[in-house]
């Protein structure tokens, strides 16, 4: 493919930078007003700064996408601000520009991020106007939201590894700030610490992959930091080993394989996949609008995007791809079981996020890259709607998130009832809602896959979809049907959201229903065998930059039966949840001991976090207390260095001063003259 660039006839290339910079500028303005000036600004100015920045970024994203669609299959938009970092000597010299690129992949994700963010902002403004947020909390929330959105856009638009990592780090910082948003709460502080540690694991994986990749290319005589340069030269690294990792091994590990594992580790942390998944269910405190973005188009998108951007390289790392497949399939299965047994609504939604992202990770592992991208796009609107509606429910329950104390809300809030239903159906992939089409396509890809484990993977995906449908149906019936449970908080007057909040939820509901039709050929061509490939406005558009087929080569009745299978398991999961919870609501914990134990194990995701606590956290904490705190700090530093050192120094100084301070005026005069001589000599020199 030719590597041509254009500044566009209608859309100036120098405008691309502002897609990412405008939200960051808004975050900086909020930070200055909050932290330095401490000014009390008007309510309209608080949300006006953020909303205007994101709206402008959305308009620029739409303009860039229009230009990309029109300029031709081999071109992209490049915006180079200027030289940034450089170094090296001779053939290993390098330079990195502060440059942003807009190609089909980044254009699609920019539009998704800015569009969803603007809708979420509108919802947050509605809550602000109706008094759900005080001014100080709203100001801090919008500042962090701007940082999160801006960092995600920097990551998506980055033209080189350094700028990419900068955006990646910004997303991690914003995620940690939201996890510990209620910093005075002990659980929130713990969630923030957990998010920080897991995030740094992903950062180390990505940083190691970048350094190894650049070092390998430098030794091959083709140092490159841009994605275009890496894609053009990475074949030089095939067969090259990492010698310093070969100790005790018959053969040095392949460099591309190690780089692939680093990228996979980074993606698994951001996407909350096994075995580093538990940070997401923990970080469920804080503003609902923040989690609507974290779980829809920012953190999860960052994890999937790094794999899509390096998809050309992952094809040369089969071990890393197998890890992706294993992690995605295991997370999808176990997270759906955890969601089906949750008693806490935010935790339930967090586990559904891990499940759907597991499908996307699995799709990338088997080479269905456009399917994974399409699933992320459809999931984003469904998940944003679900989280915002869940926020309305929690507000009606006066902050109570326990599903056991909910029930009968549908009669009091019918609009919220239908919005939650649409969000749930869109999330689980009920036909013809948004997620049905990419999930059906993933199943078709697995059906035609030549991998020996494809049958097992197909069974895992289909089962996970059914369990996910049961989990969402269970939550729906426990919240909106049946009678008010003991301890329920429905005595006060309740009403559906109005104004800005209602408008934002309605827009998301429409997108959650119709989003799947962005790519109709991925379903209708397979079922009808009609030649309508060009109707596919997502998969075929992404083939310009993403490897792999945009649509499985499966047509006719076979494709139709697979689509029917997906629809059937969704209906079955919803039917089982309705039969169990529609009338009687929560029935209590299982009575049989074995079933009760299994329920607890599934609810806690088989205690992966507890295992980390026992095997890693506690030994490290004990070592810190014994060796570092008591041994090094108390014994070595405090007693020997501080106390002993200060005693020696005090004795030496006192010995000198005792001889100088002898009461003789001649000595004092001599000392003064010597001091004056030293000062004059220093000034003259």
Residue 108 lies in a domain: no
User: 332 pLDDT band (50/70/90 cuts)?
Assistant: very high
- Residue 667 is classified by DSSP as H
Q: Verify that 548 and 627 share a domain, yes or no.
A: no
Indicate if the pLDDT at residue 491 is higher than 70.
Answer: no
Q: What is the pTM of this model?
A: 0.85
Q: Verify that 613 and 544 share a domain, yes or no.
A: no
Indicate if the pLDDT at residue 151 is higher than 90.
Answer: yes
Handedness of CA 111, 113, 117, 120 (dihedral sign): positive
Indicate if the pLDDT at residue 669 is higher than 90.
Answer: no
Q: Verify that 506 and 614 share a domain, yes or no.
A: no
Residue 168 lies in a domain: yes
What pLDDT score does 642 carry?
Answer: 58
Let me know: does 457 contact 541? Beta carbons within 8 Å.
Answer: no
Give the tens place of pLDDT for each residue, 395-454: 888 888 888 888 888 888 888 989 999 999 999 988 888 889 889 989 999 998 878 888
Q: Quote the distance between the C-alpha of residue 373 and its chain's center.
A: 14
Domain final residue, candidates 569, 591, 623:
569
Number of C-beta neighbours around residue 235 at 10 A: 13
Q: Long-range contacts made by residues 193-198, C-beta under 8 angstroms, separation at least 24?
A: 194/278, 194/279, 194/282, 194/283, 195/279, 195/282, 195/283, 198/269, 198/276, 198/278, 198/279
Q: What count of residues does the chain have? A: 685
User: What are residue 80's DSSP bridge partners?
Assistant: 99
End-to-end distance of the chain based on CA atoms, in angstroms? 66
User: What are residue 101's DSSP bridge partners?
Assistant: 78
The CA–CA distances, whole Å, from 53 to 19, 103, 143 equal 9, 22, 12
Give the tens place of pLDDT for each residue, 220-273: 888 888 888 888 888 888 777 776 666 666 676 788 899 999 999 999 999 989
Beta-sheet strand order (sheet of 75-87): 4-6, 75-87, 94-102
| Higher pLDDT, residue 528 or 295 | 295
Percent of the chain clearing pLDDT 90 (strictly above): 29
459: left (phi over 0), alpha (psi -120 to 50) or beta: alpha
Residue 651 lies in a domain: yes
For 591, the token pair is 């009575």
Indicate if the pLDDT at residue 513 is higher than 60.
Answer: yes
Handedness of CA 581, 587, 590, 592 (dihedral sign): negative
Q: Long-range contacts made by residues 669-674, C-beta under 8 angstroms, separation at least 24?
A: none
| Higher pLDDT, residue 648 or 475 | 475
Shortest CA distance to 178 belongs to which of 276, 264, 298? 298
Q: Verify that 386 and 503 share a domain, yes or no.
A: yes
Residue 99 lies in a domain: no
479 lies in which domain range?
160-569
Q: Verify that 529 and 668 share a domain, yes or no.
A: no
Please state the three-class secondary structure of 323-362 as a single string.
Answer: HHHHHHHHHHHHHHHHHHCCCEHHHHHHHHHHHHHHHHHH
Q: Verify that 239 and 320 share a domain, yes or no.
A: yes
Q: Verify that 628 and 485 share a domain, yes or no.
A: no
What pLDDT score does 519 carry?
Answer: 65
Q: Following DSSP, what letter does each residue of 206-269 receive, concatenated?
A: HHHHHHHHHHHHHHTT----BHHHHHHHGGGGTT-B-GGG-TTSSSPPBHHHHHHHHHHHHHHH
Residue 216 lies in a domain: yes
User: What is the three-class DSSP state of 317?
Assistant: coil
d(CA 308, CA 538): 14
How many distinct structural domains can be found in the chain?
2
Q: Verify that 546 and 620 share a domain, yes or no.
A: no
Q: Verify that 250 and 330 share a domain, yes or no.
A: yes
What pLDDT score does 306 carry?
Answer: 93
What pLDDT score does 168 carry?
Answer: 93
| Segment among 1-10, 67-76, 516-525, 636-645 with least mean pLDDT | 1-10
d(CA 400, CA 345): 9
Largest CA distance in the chain: 112
Q: Following DSSP, what letter does each residue of 359-406 receive, concatenated?
A: HHHHHHHTT-HHHHHHHHHHHHHHHHHHHHHHHHHHHHTTT--BGGG-
* List of residues 6+ apart from 245 with CB closer than 8 A: 252, 253, 258
Mean per-residue pLDDT of the chain: 81
d(CA 363, CA 46): 41
Average pLDDT over residues 168-187: 84
For 323, the token pair is 């890890």
* Token pair 């597991």 in the structure block, residue: 358
Residue 43 lies in a domain: no
Shortest CA distance to 435 belongs to which of 467, 478, 393, 469? 469
| Segment among 2-6, 54-58, 173-177 with least mean pLDDT | 2-6
User: Which is it for strands 94-102 and 75-87: parallel, antiparallel or unpaired?
Assistant: antiparallel
Q: Verify that 204 and 350 share a domain, yes or no.
A: yes
- Residue 160 is classified by DSSP as B
Indicate if the pLDDT at residue 143 is higher than 50.
Answer: yes
Q: Verify that 397 and 488 share a domain, yes or no.
A: yes
Handedness of CA 518, 520, 523, 525 (dihedral sign): negative
Let me know: does 186 contact 91? Beta carbons within 8 Å.
Answer: no
Domain final residue, candidates 569, 595, 617:
569
For 104, the token pair is 């089909």
Residue 451 lies in a domain: yes
Domain final residue, candidates 542, 569, 596:
569
Average pLDDT over residues 619-631: 63
Residue 367 lies in a domain: yes
Q: Verify that 517 and 419 share a domain, yes or no.
A: yes
d(CA 479, CA 299): 28
What pLDDT score does 639 carry?
Answer: 59
């Amino acid at each position: 493919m030719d590597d041509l660039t254009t500044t566009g006839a209608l859309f100036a290339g120098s405008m691309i930078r502002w897609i990412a910079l405008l939200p960051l500028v808004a975050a900086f303005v909020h930070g200055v007003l909050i932290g330095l000036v401490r000014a009390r600004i008007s309510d309209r100015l608080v949300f006006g700064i953020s909303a205007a920045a994101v709206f402008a970024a959305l308009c620029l994203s739409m303009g860039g996408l229009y230009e990309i669609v029109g300029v031709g299959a081999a071109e992209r938009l490049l915006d180079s601000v200027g030289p940034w970092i450089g170094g090296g000597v001779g053939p290993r010299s390098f330079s990195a520009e502060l440059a942003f690129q807009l190609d089909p992949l980044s254009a699609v994700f920019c539009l998704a991020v800015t569009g969803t963010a603007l809708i979420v902002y509108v919802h947050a403004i509605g809550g602000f106007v109706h008094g759900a947020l005080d001014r100080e909390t709203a100001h801090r929330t919008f500042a962090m939201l701007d940082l999160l959105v801006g960092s995600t856009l920097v990551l998506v638009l980055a033209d080189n590894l350094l700028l990419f990592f900068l955006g990646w780090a910004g997303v991690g910082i914003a995620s940690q700030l939201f996890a510990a948003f209620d910093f005075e709460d002990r659980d929130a502080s713990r969630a923030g610490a957990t998010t920080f540690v897991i995030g740094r694991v992903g950062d180390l994986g990505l940083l190691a992959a970048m350094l190894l990749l650049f070092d390998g290319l430098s030794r091959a005589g083709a140092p490159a930091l841009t994605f275009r340069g890496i894609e053009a030269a990475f074949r030089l690294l095939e067969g090259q080993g990492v010698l310093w990792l070969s100790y005790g091994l018959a053969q040095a590990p392949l460099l591309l394989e190690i780089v692939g594992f680093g990228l996979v580790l980074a993606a698994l942390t951001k996407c909350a996949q096994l075995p580093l998944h538990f940070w997401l269910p923990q970080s469920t405190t804080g503003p609902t609008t923040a989690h609507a973005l974290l779980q829809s188009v920012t953190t999860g998108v960052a994890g999937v995007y790094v794999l899509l951007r390096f998809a050309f390289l992952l094809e040369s790392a089969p071990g890393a791809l197998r890890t992706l497949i294993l992690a995605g399939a295991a997370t999808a299965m176990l997270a759906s079981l955890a969601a089906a047994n949750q008693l806490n609504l935010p935790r339930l939604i967090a586990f559904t996020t891990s499940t759907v992202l597991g499908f996307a990770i699995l799709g990338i592992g088997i080479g269905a890259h456009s399917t994974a991208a399409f699933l992320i796009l459809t999931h984003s609107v469904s998940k944003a709607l679900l989280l915002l509606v869940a926020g309305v429910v929690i507000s009606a329950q006066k902050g109570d998130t326990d599903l056991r104390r909910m029930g009968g809300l549908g009669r009091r809030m019918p609009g919220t009832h239908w919005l939650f239903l649409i969000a749930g159906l869109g999330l689980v992939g009920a036909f013809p809602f948004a997620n049905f089409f990419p999930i059906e396509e993933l199943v078709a890809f697995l059906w035609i896959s030549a991998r020996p484990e494809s049958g097992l993977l197909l069974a895992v995906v289909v089962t996970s979809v059914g369990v996910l449908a049961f989990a969402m149906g269970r939550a729906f019936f426990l919240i909106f049907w049946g009678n008010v449970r003991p301890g329920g908080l429905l005595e006060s007057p309740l009403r559906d959201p109005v104004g800005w909040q209602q408008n934002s939820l309605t827009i998301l509901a429409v997108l959650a229903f119709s989003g799947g039709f962005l790519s109709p050929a991925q379903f209708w061509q397979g079922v009808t065998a009609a030649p309508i490939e060009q109707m596919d406005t997502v998969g075929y558009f992404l083939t310009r930059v993403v490897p792999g087929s945009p649509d499985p080569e499966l047509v006719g009745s076979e494709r139709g039966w697979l689509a029917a299978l997906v629809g059937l398991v969704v209906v079955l999961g919803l039917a089982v949840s309705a039969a169990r919870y529609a009338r009687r609501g929560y029935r209590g914990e299982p009575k049989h001991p074995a079933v009760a134990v299994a329920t607890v194990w599934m609810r806690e995701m088989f205690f992966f976090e507890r295992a980390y606590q026992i095997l890693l956290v506690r030994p490290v904490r004990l070592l810190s207390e014994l060796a570092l705190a008591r041994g090094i700090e108390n014994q070595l530093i405090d007693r020997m260095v501080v106390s002993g050192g200060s005693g020696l120094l005090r004795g030496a100084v006192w010995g000198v001063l005792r001889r100088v301070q002898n009461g003789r005026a001649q000595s004092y005069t001599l000392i003064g003259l010597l001091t004056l001589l030293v000062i004059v000599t220093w000034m003259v020199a």
